[in-house]
């Protein structure tokens, strides 16, 4: 039996903008998807998904998952007809949209394959294989999700011919709350929608993208100085920019406002948007609990975790 794991993630700044070459900041979170791979006597791939999360997520994403596995196997040159396998997915990372569940599961599967079949893959090669699979979920993924899922930690990421990936070190980890809207988003469609609108309204969109680029450099400085008040303010500003490119949603905006009203230093959507998750900056266990409880009182799921 082969075993592997991939981290969940939160994008703190510049989802969507990152697809178009603007830098972004993301962090792995302390939750993982685990994968077990065993050889079996059936045909091809048998997939058992024991992950918990948003109702209907696994069913809704099943076609994407099958395409992702095909892409990964092709990329690795792995013949599942000659080597039929059973993949079992588990772990404590829930299947919410916006938390990097697809990337985490792909990284975990590649690592489990690597473990069982002694493929000799480096972390970089694991990351590249997972990126290939991510195309099934996101169309044109930036690569930030699979990078966080593979390497962990807090990262500065800029997409390009060769992606720039830099580890950021902050003074100490900081508590966050991730609120789940319960809405399963089609990331591929949302990413394509931004691209279409950017082509249709270049002047408007170029201005927003430029502002997002300026903001993320300031956010990087604030994080490195551990100026959490400023980090929160910039998260609020980044949410406005994401609203301006039309990737927010009613439930997301409600949770963002609720978090701020309960003392979060900043809050914004995270991930693909439209549905999925938002993130609130809540340093200290007491504030984290207050914000998470407020979300749960309203009937939403809240994850308490840390970044950095």
Q: Do 188 and 156 fall within a single domain? A: no
Q: What's the whole-number mean pLDDT along residues 182-187?
A: 84
pLDDT digits 0-9 by tens, 239-263: 999 999 999 999 999 999 999 999 9
> Is 41:82 a contact under the CB 8 Å cutoff?
no
Residues 65 and 160 in one domain: yes
Residue 271 domain boundaries: 174-307
**Which of 117, 143, 168 is the last residue before a domain boundary?**
168
Q: How many CA atoms lie within 13 A of 122 on its CB side?
A: 2
Question: How many Cβ atoms from other residues are within 10 Å of residue 285's Cβ?
Answer: 10
Task: Supply the CATH number for residue 289's domain.
Answer: 3.30.70.890
- Shared domain for 123 and 22, answered yes or no, is yes
- Which pLDDT value is given to residue 6? 97
User: For 281-298, what is the mean pLDDT?
Assistant: 98
What DSSP letter does each residue of 20-52 carry, written as one string? GT--EEEEEEEEEEEEEEEE-SSSSEEEEE---
Please report, for the domain that includes residue 59, its CATH number.
3.30.230.10
Q: Are residues 157 and 229 in the same domain?
A: no
What pLDDT score does 155 carry?
94
**258/164 same-domain check:** no
- How many structural domains comprise the chain? 2
Residue 216 and residue 294 in one domain: yes
Last residue of a domain, one of 115, 135, 168: 168
User: In terms of C-beta density within 10 A (0-12 exposed, 13-18 middle, 19 or more buried), how is residue 247 classed?
Assistant: buried
CA angle, residues 71, 76, 82, in degrees to nearest 5 = 95
Cα–Cα distance for residue pair 139/145, rounded to 1 Å: 13
Same domain, 132 and 102: yes
Query: Which pLDDT band holds residue 184 (cuts at 50, 70, 90)?
Result: confident
Domain end residue (candidates: 135, 168, 201): 168
In this prediction, residue 299 carries a pLDDT of 97
What pTM does this model have? 0.86
Q: Are residues 47 and 148 in the same domain?
A: yes
Q: What is the pLDDT of residue 124?
A: 94
- 261 is a catalytic site residue: no
pLDDT digits (tens, 9 = 90+) for 60-102: 788 889 999 999 999 999 999 999 999 999 999 998 878 899 9
pLDDT of residue 291: 98
Tokens representing 285? 């266990």
**Among 49, 74, 79, 145, which one carries the catalytic annotation?**
145
- pLDDT, tens digit (0-9, with 9 covering 90-100), for 125-157: 999 999 999 999 878 788 889 999 999 999 999
């Amino acid at each position: 039996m082969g075993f592997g794991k991939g981290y969940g993630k939160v994008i703190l700044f510049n989802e969507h903008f990152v697809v178009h070459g603007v830098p972004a900041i993301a962090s792995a979170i302390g939750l993982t998807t685990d994968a077990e791979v065993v050889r079996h006597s059936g045909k091809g791939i048998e997939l058992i998904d024991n992950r918990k999360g948003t109702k209907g997520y696994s069913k809704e994403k099943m076609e994407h998952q099958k395409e992702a596995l095909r892409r990964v196997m092709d990329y690795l040159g792995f013949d599942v007809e000659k080597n039929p396998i059973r993949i079992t997915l588990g772990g404590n990372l829930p299947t919410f949209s916006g938390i990097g569940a697809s990337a985490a599961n792909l990284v975990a599967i590649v690592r489990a394959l690597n473990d069982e079949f002694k493929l000799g893959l480096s972390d970089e090669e694991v990351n590249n294989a997972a990126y290939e699979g991510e195309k099934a979920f996101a169309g044109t993924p930036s690569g930030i999700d699979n990078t966080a899922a593979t390497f962990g930690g807090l990262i500065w990421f800029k997409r390009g011919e060769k992606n720039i990936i830099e580890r950021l070190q902050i003074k100490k980890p900081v508590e966050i709350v991730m609120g789940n809207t319960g809405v399963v988003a089609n990331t591929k469609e949302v990413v394509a929608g931004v691209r279409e609108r950017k082509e249709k309204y270049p002047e408007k969109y170029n201005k927003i993208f430029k502002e997002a680029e300026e903001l993320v450099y300031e956010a990087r400085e604030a994080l490195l100085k551990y100026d959490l008040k400023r980090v929160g303010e910039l998260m609020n500003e980044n949410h406005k920019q994401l609203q301006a490119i039309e990737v927010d949603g009613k439930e997301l905006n409600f949770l963002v406002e609720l978090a701020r009203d309960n003392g979060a230093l900043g809050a914004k959507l995270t991930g693909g948007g439209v549905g999925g998750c938002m993130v609130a900056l809540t340093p200290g266990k007491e504030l984290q609990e207050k914000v998470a409880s407020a979300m749960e009182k309203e009937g939403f799921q809240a994850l308490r975790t840390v970044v950095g």
